[in-house]
Amino acid sequence: MEQRDVRGHYEELAAEYDEHWVYGPDYIPWMSARIAEALRLTPADRIADIGSGTGLFAREVAAALRPEHPILCVDPSAAMLDQLGSPPPPDLTPLVASAEDIAEGRVGLPYERLDAMWLKESVHHLPDPARTLRGLADRLAPGGRLLVVMLPATIRYPLFQAALTRFEELQPDPNDIVGHVRAAGLDAGLGHVEHELRIDKDKYLGMVRARYMSLLATFSDSEIEKGIEEMRAAHPEPVLVFPDRFAFVLAERRGGKA
């Protein structure tokens, strides 16, 4: 999907995004804790969630961390950021901007440098990930950390086969992302985390129909409905159980904190 199509996709989903995207009550706390743990976040850190959407993870991190500086929730969709509330919580600062805007310095930040930032399942939307990640790396203070959370090259979701095939065609390789951040001058490594999902089948089919994953927006209504029938036939069980495995590309700028 081109960037303008991605933005339009999320603009349409904004009001119902949290309902369709959250798998269960323990998922957001689990992922938020893994993000905070990987980035070694402290209350004094200047933090940005790049591609934050409705702030699901930033909100959870802020509640646990009690940061001294508001976490920047950066997203190109104003409608998604509006879900933070009006006014937003005092420990979150919405910023309507794309990752490219931040990387290229087209949008100013309230902090001269960032101590930590994460991109959660948004790197596949970047037209030029090498350039954008290099620019984001330049926004880090010495000792600053960058975390790219992404799905691996293949997934074991109970989707219809055409969607799984298209996912593999579109999804970047985490090893390539490691290469990009290393080329940007950061020390980087690759790890994985996994969480077992249990979700009511009808709810999951509703999420697919709502195109909760951006790749589903590349299918027509009739293709989605055909895919849902394929999923029903393949999964007669009322509760779907499947692994949600993520690649964690963690990078750090050499030097002490500034």
Name the DSSP class of 120. Answer: E
pLDDT digits (tens, 9 = 90+) for 142-181: 999 999 999 999 999 999 999 999 999 999 999 999 999 9
User: What's the pTM?
Assistant: 0.89
pLDDT digits (tens, 9 = 90+) for 227-258: 999 999 999 999 999 999 999 999 999 876 54
Q: Which of 138, 62, 127 is nearest to 98 (CA)?
A: 127
DSSP-based three-state secondary structure for 144: strand
Mean pLDDT over residues 206-216, rounded? 90
Instruction: Provide φ and ψ at 148, rounded to 5°.
Output: -105, 115
**In this predicted structure, what is the pLDDT of residue 25?**
78
pLDDT at 17 over 70: no
**In this predicted structure, what is the pLDDT of residue 193?**
97
pLDDT at 95 over 80: yes
The percentage of residues in the chain with a pLDDT greater than 70, rounded to a whole number, is 90
**In this predicted structure, what is the pLDDT of residue 178?**
98
Structure tokens at 73: 């929730």
Contacts 24+ apart (CB under 8 A), 217-226: 217/1, 217/5, 217/9, 218/1, 218/166, 219/162, 219/163, 223/162, 226/160
Number of residues that this document lists for the chain: 258
Name the DSSP class of 198. Answer: E
In the chain, DSSP finds a helix count (H) and a strand count (E) of 11, 7
Mean pLDDT over residues 12-32, rounded? 69
Contact 197, 236 (CB under 8 A): no
Identify which has the larger pLDDT, 22 or 48: 48
